[in-house]
């Protein structure tokens, strides 16, 4: 018997943390749910009251990062502690792309998921964090299948389509979700010889490409993010194949956050039932003011961050 087999057997006999299965499995438990950006414990409570499956702690919501400018970083540890104490649902937090020390801090604080996020100012313009080195799982953004598979190869246990955060405009989320799904559909039509060239084109590992081609889906959960502002936006993204929804500025930049948050939760569960979406869409007050993507210059776009 090889040494490897022996160690695999003994590791099965006693509790093992930080495995790919528990990391990816955590994301499975969030499916069909809404994860809401919060910057304070008070906002986290509103999100939990509304039925969020998790909250995402960050320093400023994307709309404020856009309007205020400057470097956007990981949230203050005291603020994250406050959010963890305020709610009983999972707490996620954002780290800058490539900033392994921020991610280490978040893991030490005890957050349940780290979002290595393009919404914050990147700390490394060539490399993402080696996510296999962590016990805490990571979610990463992607605009297409190649990017998603590169993140998974680095250890991401969940993927979200990027969209364009802080705009309240769902068009980029739609583009990225459709693109990822179309890329996957295409792979399922290729023969085994063609998969090698496809992997090269996608700039992704052959093993992951072959896995997606066989399964027709990612090996991890796929959520959507970036620009979701209404219950109908959430329902649309679910119909496009998202397994759940991140909402950032769309809730706390609107007129009645508590009501809008609860409405988006319900529309996500009943995404295919227009009667429910109608009912929850009434009387929500002002939606966040949106931004047309044509009004953003290339440097103002966040989705291009990540490599």
Partner 1 sequence: MTRIGVLALQGDVAEHVRMLGECGADAVPVRRPEELLTVDALVIPGGESTTISKLAVEFEVFEPIRKRVAEGMPAYGSCAGMIMLAERVLDGRDDQRAFGGVDMTVRRNAFGRQVDSFETDLRIAGVDGDPLHAVFIRAPWVESVGESVEVLSRVTGGRADGRIVAVRQGNVLATAFHPELTDDLRVHRLFADMVRAAAAG
Q: Which residues bind partner 1 (CB under 8 A)?
A: 12-19, 21-22, 25-26, 28-33, 48, 51-54, 88-90, 107, 110-113, 135-137, 265-266, 269-270
Of 41, 61, 10, 34, the C-alpha closest to 271 is: 34
Rg (CA), the chain: 19
In the structure encoding, which two tokens stand for residue 197, read together? 């060239």
The smaller minimum CB distance to partner 1, of residues 270 and 307, is found at 270
Angle at 233 between CA 227 and CA 234, to 5 degrees: 100
Which of these, 118, 141, 166, 167, lies nearest to 242 by C-alpha position? 141
Q: Taking Cα atoms as reference points, which of 150, 123, 124, 125 lies closest to residue 138?
A: 150
Instruction: Give the Cα-Cα-Cα angle 194, 220, 63 (nearest 5 degrees).
Output: 110
* Ramachandran bin of 124, using left for φ above 0, alpha for ψ from -120 to 50, beta for the remaining angles: beta
Nearest to 56 by CA among 295, 248, 256, 271: 248
Q: What are the C-alpha distances in Å from 101 to residues 1, 26, 134, 279? A: 40, 23, 11, 45
Catalytic machinery residues: 94
For residue 139, what is the enclosing H or E element? Answer: strand 138-142
Q: What is the DSSP string of 190-225?
A: S-TTHHHHHHHHHTS-HHHHHHHHHHSS-SSEEEE-
Closest approach, Cβ 28 to partner 1, in A, equals 4
Return d(Cα 224, Cα 161) in angstroms, integer. Answer: 5
DSSP label at residue 227? S
């Amino acid at each position: 018997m090889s040494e490897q087999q022996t160690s695999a057997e003994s590791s099965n006999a006693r509790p093992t943390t930080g495995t790919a299965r528990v990391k990816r499995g955590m994301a499975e438990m969030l499916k069909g749910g809404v994860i809401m950006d919060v910057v304070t414990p008070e906002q986290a409570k509103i999100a939990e009251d509304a039925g969020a499956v998790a909250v995402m702690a960050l320093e400023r919501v994307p709309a404020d990062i856009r309007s205020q400018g400057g470097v956007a970083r990981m949230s203050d540890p005291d603020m994250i502690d406050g959010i963890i104490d305020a709610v009983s649902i999972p707490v996620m937090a954002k780290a800058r792309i490539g900033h392994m020390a921020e991610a280490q801090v978040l893991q030490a604080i005890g957050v349940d998921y780290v979002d290595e996020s393009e919404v914050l100012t990147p700390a490394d313009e060539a490399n993402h964090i080696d996510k296999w080195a962590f016990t805490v799982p990571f979610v990463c953004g992607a605009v297409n299948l190649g990017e998603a598979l590169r993140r998974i190869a680095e250890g991401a246990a969940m993927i979200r389509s990027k969209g364009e955060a802080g705009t309240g405009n769902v068009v980029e989320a739609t583009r990225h979700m459709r693109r990822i799904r179309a890329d996957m559909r295409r792979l399922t039509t290729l023969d085994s010889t063609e998969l090698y060239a496809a992997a090269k084109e996608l700039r992704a590992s052959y093993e992951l490409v072959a896995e997606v081609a066989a399964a027709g889906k990612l090996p991890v959960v796929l959520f959507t993010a970036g620009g979701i502002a209404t219950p109908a936006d959430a329902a649309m993204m679910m119909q496009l194949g998202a397994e759940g929804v991140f909402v950032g500025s769309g809730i706390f930049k609107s007129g009645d956050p508590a009501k809008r948050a609860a409405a988006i939760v319900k529309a996500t569960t009943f995404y295919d039932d227009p009667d429910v979406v109608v009912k929850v869409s009434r009387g929500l007050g002002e939606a966040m003011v949106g931004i047309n993507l044509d009004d953003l210059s290339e440097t103002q776009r966040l989705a291009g961050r990540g490599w």
